[in-house]
Structure 1
């Protein structure tokens, strides 16, 4: 088994109190666990991926611009990783096992080279952390399942601004996608 971590959208806009589309306290409460888990992955030499929303609010064709207020806008501090995850990333960003990429859609696989990079490294198991459990984490997990990856969701390192949606997604990961809930 070769494993990789996908850290999804744990940015200022999704987590900080002043974030443009914040999970607020729910997102802030997972910081320590998310950072500890990420640090363990990096220090073990496992492939660690930062899949981060990148939006242009003037893009009239992007459906999220009709659904949500502008968030994770390219060139803003809203796209920086939140809290101590930013510090950890900055310390290790030049490590060849770290991969940061911009994504336009909910899923980290949609329109990206993520699947190719994972297969090049013979990754079979994906560990997911980040926000929002019932949006970007969910869509990434569904695509990963459909691509044949084994899923592991770090329950104390995912959050949403919608508690009902969060709980539904955790159950869906386990009961429908066969994910291991850690």
Structure 2
């Protein structure tokens, strides 16, 4: 059965030092791990999926606009994939095994076609990396749990701007959701 690597919100706004809502150095440190995993999944004929926040600053119905500064706005530098991931995606985006899609909530499953996409390809096992561990990664993981996916989280593939929240989420993945939390090395 094929597997999928989900690279969640690894954009300039969430990663770059001057990003609008950046996890900064902890997120930057993920770059090589994420690209290495993406290569590994694609070379194994598995899937690489890039759920990526997309927001409108004028959307008064999205609760994130009340909680956080404007981020991942359409056609901006901030929404561009960070560092080495952007050229990796540009080189592989025509593959039938690579898919980037917009999301407008924390979870990659909410208001998207992700569950259908995975089920159509008989994918029941997903691996998660990206940012932010205790927000978008966490909410995606909880929805995956509720949809009965087998989930692996790469501890050296996720980061947050909140160290306590990051540690709490990693523990929650293991002790409450029963997920595999591993190191990619």
TM > 0.5 fold call: yes
1:121 alignment counterpart: 121
1:71 alignment counterpart: 71
Whether the 8 Å CA contact 2:15–2:22 is kept in 1: the answer is yes
Q: What is the DSSP-based 3-state SS (H/G/I as helix, E as strand, rest coil) of the residue aligned with 1:22? A: coil
Q: What is the DSSP-based 3-state SS (H/G/I as helix, E as strand, rest coil) of the residue aligned with 2:51? A: strand
1:155 alignment counterpart: 155
1:180 alignment counterpart: 180
Whether the 8 Å CA contact 1:13–1:21 is kept in 2: the answer is yes
Q: What is the DSSP-based 3-state SS (H/G/I as helix, E as strand, rest coil) of the residue aligned with 1:126? A: strand
* Count of aligned pairs: 182
Q: What is the DSSP-based 3-state SS (H/G/I as helix, E as strand, rest coil) of the residue aligned with 1:27? A: helix
1:58 alignment counterpart: 58
Write the distance in 1 (CA, Å) between the matches of 2:167 and 2:129.
15
Query: How far off is 1:166 after superposition?
Result: 0.4
Q: Which runs of 5+ in 2 are unaligned?
A: none
Q: What is the DSSP-based 3-state SS (H/G/I as helix, E as strand, rest coil) of the residue aligned with 2:155? A: strand
Write the distance in 2 (CA, Å) between the matches of 1:149 and 1:121.
13
Write the distance in 2 (CA, Å) between the matches of 1:177 and 1:126.
14
Whether the 8 Å CA contact 1:34–1:156 is kept in 2: the answer is no
Superposition pairs of residues 72-91 of structure 1, within 5 angstroms: 72-91=72-91
User: Given the two structures, how large is their TM-score scaled by the length of structure 2?
Assistant: 0.97
1:65-98, CA deviations, whole angstroms, 9 ceiling, x for partnerless residues? 0000000011111111100011111110000111
Q: What is the DSSP-based 3-state SS (H/G/I as helix, E as strand, rest coil) of the residue aligned with 2:166? A: helix
Structure 1 runs, 4 residues or longer, greater than 4 Å off: none
Write the distance in 2 (CA, Å) between the matches of 1:88 and 1:75.
19
CA RMSD between the two structures: 0.7
Write the distance in 1 (CA, Å) between the matches of 2:109 and 2:58.
23
Q: Which runs of 5+ in 1 are unaligned?
A: none
1:32-91, CA deviations, whole angstroms, 9 ceiling, x for partnerless residues? 111111111112111111000000001111110000000001111111110001111111
Write the distance in 1 (CA, Å) between the matches of 2:61 and 2:130.
26
Query: How far off is 1:2 after superposition?
Result: 2.7
